[in-house]
Structure 1
């Protein structure tokens, strides 16, 4: 389990991020149209997984905006923004913000993603949501970069992640 903080208070996740060089675990996620998609369905493209607790917080929203601008312009790369928010809330946010360059995906129907990637928060006020992390997966499904953000209220290191691509 990873220990991270929420405004300085320790909280724990159910596990650790998968190791760099390993194959990404398989998981289903729910799209805005309520259809499910598997990570395996996206093989052949590089994947940026921007994982966060809720789109309705300022830091989570900032990460979606940043990746919409920075990573979505990369060749053969799909940016997946993943949270436990309902797809309706994700779509409302993207519509209000004019965000069109990424995929919003939800774990509300399937909790396998959070446990498979070690990201589900198991203690504290955000228990059951996902911790903030960045995971990059290459075209073959291999993990090439991970960042477990140590403080939930902190943005990820965008430049380190994008440089890894």
Structure 2
């Protein structure tokens, strides 16, 4: 059974349980399998040799998640060829595609953790009570070592965009 962490996060002030380990700077990035569409999955290895900024959102159809994804889409355009920006949520892949098309998102790669919750459990962000992934940011270097982590204490808060982008810039 996966590790459960309590007392570390809330949703609108209410305590929630996160499933999986707490990832720390210096850790080897755990592998994961997420869907890029209904049938095809990708894993950490698919982004080998690149700096990875992973922006985790509960659902693209909420205000903070929308703003977070739009912000990282803008930043992705400036970060260069050696950086990939991934947004992971539990939204279905076709909902992600529809949202990206409507929002004009073209630099961020949206990936879905809907099928197995592999990412959520591996990175300690799966919310047990509602089966969504908790808002968080991970920056992983080209050798798959974690260089930056931000777990949000309150799901409705924004992440520290500047700190995440600076962590990426320090690696390229």
TM-score bracket, normalised by the shorter chain, equals: over 0.9
Q: CA deviation at 1:15?
A: 3.4
28-37 or 144-153: bigger deviation: 28-37
CA RMSD of aligned residues (A): 1.3
Aligned to 1:100: 106
Displacement after TM superposition at 1:11 (Å): 1.3
What residue in structure 1 maps to residue 155 of structure 2? 152
User: TM-score scaled by structure 2?
Assistant: 0.89
1:56 deviation in Å?
0.8
Count of residues in Structure 1 that have an aligned counterpart in Structure 2: 162
After TM superposition, where is structure 1 displaced by more than 4 Å over at least 4 residues in a row? none
Residues 72 and 79 in structure 1, CA contact (< 8 A), matched pair in contact too: no
Matched position secondary structure for 1:59: helix
Task: Tell me by how many angstroms 1:33 deviates.
Answer: 6.5
Unaligned 5+ segments in structure 1 are: none
* TM-score normalised by the chain length of structure 1: 0.93
Q: Deviations over 1:12-62 (max 9, x none)?
A: 211343111111111111114641111111110000000011111111111
Match of 1:121 among 127, 131, 134: 127
Give the equivalent residue in structure 1 for 2:137: 134
- 2:58 aligned residue (48, 53, 56): 53
Question: After the TM superposition, which residues 9-88 of structure 1 pair with which residues of structure 2 at under 5 Å, given as runs?
Answer: 9-32=14-37, 34-75=39-80, 76-88=82-94
